[in-house]
Amino acid sequence: MKEFTPESFRLDGKIALVTGASYGIGFAIASGFAKSGATIVFNDINQELVDKGLKAYEEAGIQAHGYVCDVTDENAVQELVKKIEEEVGVIDILVNNAGIIKRIPMIEMSADDFRKVVDIDLNGPFIVSKAVIPSMIKKGHGKIINICSMMSELGRETVSAYAAAKGGLKMLTRNIASEYGEYNIQCNGIGPGYIETPQTAPLRTEGHPFNSFIISKTPAARWGTTEDLMGPAVFLASDASNFVNGHILYVDGGILAYIGKQPQ
């Protein structure tokens, strides 16, 4: 067992694969890893997004390695991991960040749309984790972080597929921890609250009912920022969390702990 020092939070010499990290939450987490010393590898679904990501990392002063890969294609993922090992090195840290949401009332949602959300948000993390675990076992350590959601715990209108997938991802997280913890592999999740991203910008305008709703439901009385996710992600990727396994860390400003204000 390593003695704890402040350096336990560092990621120097580690190779981190963050899926779907051309922008948004994945980009922020990867940037936090880079600031802590990790080498960054990311993928996205097409070359245009990969190029966009590479430019953003370059502008941030980060040397990143970008690859095109669909996380739902098992053969392609196996080839991706093999290529990363040959060109960069064995993956020490995996963040399963790639995901989608379709906001459609359940009775109006097609089974195909439901399957697509589950395929990317749940089957994808299974496929990528399965691809990296064997080398982690050989190396004697590994960190897997699944980007879960408050919808891993709560339901809400129009997100039946997303909530089902994220609930499943919570349990996949716990099962990976259960199955591979003996190999010094820790698998945990991060459940972001409502975060300021380009996708949520239309909802965050002053006077928008949803903006007021989120602020009133959050003890921190604000939306989260992508920077709020960096510290928790670095902790779960570092040696400082070596005895934390199968845990979902909700970074939500306290929403899940709060029943809400009494109506006036």
Nearest to 148 by CA among 8, 3, 65, 25: 25
Domain membership of residue 169 as a residue range: 11-194+233-253
| Mean local confidence (pLDDT), 114-133 | 98
CATH of the domain at 37: 3.40.50.720
Q: How far apart are CA 53 and CA 45, in angstroms?
A: 12
20: region left, alpha or beta (phi > 0 left; psi from -120 to 50 alpha): left
Strands (E), the chain: 15-19, 39-44, 64-68, 93-96, 142-147, 185-192, 248-251
Q: How far apart are CA 166 and CA 151, in angstroms?
A: 6
Instruction: Give how many domains the chain has, as a whole number.
Output: 1
Q: How far apart are CA 248 and CA 243, in angstroms?
A: 14
pLDDT, tens digit, for every residue of 215-264? Answer: 999 999 999 999 999 999 999 999 999 999 999 999 999 999 998 887 77
In a domain, 127, yes or no: yes
In a domain, 6, yes or no: no
In a domain, 4, yes or no: no
Q: Cβ-count burial of 75 within 10 angstroms (0-12 exposed, 13-18 middle, 19+ buried)? A: exposed
- Rounded mean pLDDT of the chain? 96
Residue 190 has a CB neighbour count (10 Å cut-off) of: 24
Residue 3: per-residue pLDDT:
82
Residue 184: per-residue pLDDT:
98
Which residue is catalytic, options 57, 67, 162, 194?
162
Q: How confident is the model at residue 198 (pLDDT cuts 50, 70, 90)?
A: confident
Helix (H) or strand (E) holding 33: helix 24-35
Q: Is the pLDDT of residue 1 over 70?
A: no
Token look-up 């997303």 returns 162
In a domain, 149, yes or no: yes
Q: Which of 179-183, 204-208, 250-254, 260-264 has the lowest mean pLDDT?
A: 260-264
In a domain, 210, yes or no: no
3-state secondary structure of 82: helix
Q: Is the pLDDT of residue 106 over 90?
A: yes
Residue 200: per-residue pLDDT:
86
Residue 20: per-residue pLDDT:
98
Angle between helix 24-35 and helix 230-237 axes, rounded to 10 deg: 60
In a domain, 59, yes or no: yes
Residue 97 structure tokens? 């960040």
| Mean local confidence (pLDDT), 198-214 | 89
pLDDT, tens digit, for every residue of 33-78? Answer: 999 999 999 999 999 999 999 999 999 999 999 999 999 999 999 9
In a domain, 60, yes or no: yes
Q: How confident is the model at residue 206 (pLDDT cuts 50, 70, 90)?
A: confident
In a domain, 222, yes or no: no
Residue 83 structure tokens? 């290529």
Question: Is 57 assigned a catalytic role?
Answer: no
Residue 79 structure tokens? 């080839």
